Amino acid sequence: MRMLALPSSEDRRALELKEQLEDAKASARSQFQALRDRVHSLEQANVNLRAAILRGQSQHHLSLADTDVREEQLSGLKERVKATIQRYGEVERDYRRNQRSRLERQVKVVNPDMTPDEITEAVRVAEESGEGAMFTQAVRPSLPSLRLEKADR
């Protein structure tokens, strides 16, 4: 039987890439949170400036019209940040969905007689364990409980 050359969980380079991906995702989440915090602090500063103007304590001779302009700019910025974060989430969901489909196809090739429930369970186990290449796992039974259940039928 000819095996396809897909990275296995033992493949050092694949593990490095997976770690880099996880680091990049954590970094993106951290940056998104920093952006949210920064936008919030800008909004709060504008609220404080408006209050200072109303009390006649503006140090920069700004008017309420200036705070209105800032508020509009912040609103636009907030919407762009929100749209970017949502787009990132969509891309991440698409990636996970594509990975799941790839795993399902691999499971079907390696074990064509598995039921849909067994395939779902095999994919879940592979996702949780981080072992994303079913072809390399074909030699060793990674789901003995499923195989025993199937033998009992």
Domain ranges of the chain: 12-152
Q: DSSP character for 3?
A: P
User: Does 14 have pLDDT greater than 70?
Assistant: yes
Confidence of residue 150 (pLDDT cuts 50, 70, 90): very low
Q: Residues 18-69: pLDDT tens digits?
A: 899 899 999 999 999 999 999 999 999 999 999 999 999 888 889 999 999 9
pLDDT given at position 27 = 96
pTM metric for this prediction:
0.67
Q: Which long-range contacts (CB under 8 A, 24 or more apart) does 39-43 make?
A: 39/74, 39/77, 39/78, 39/81, 42/70, 42/74, 42/77, 43/74, 43/78
**Residues, the chain, total?**
153
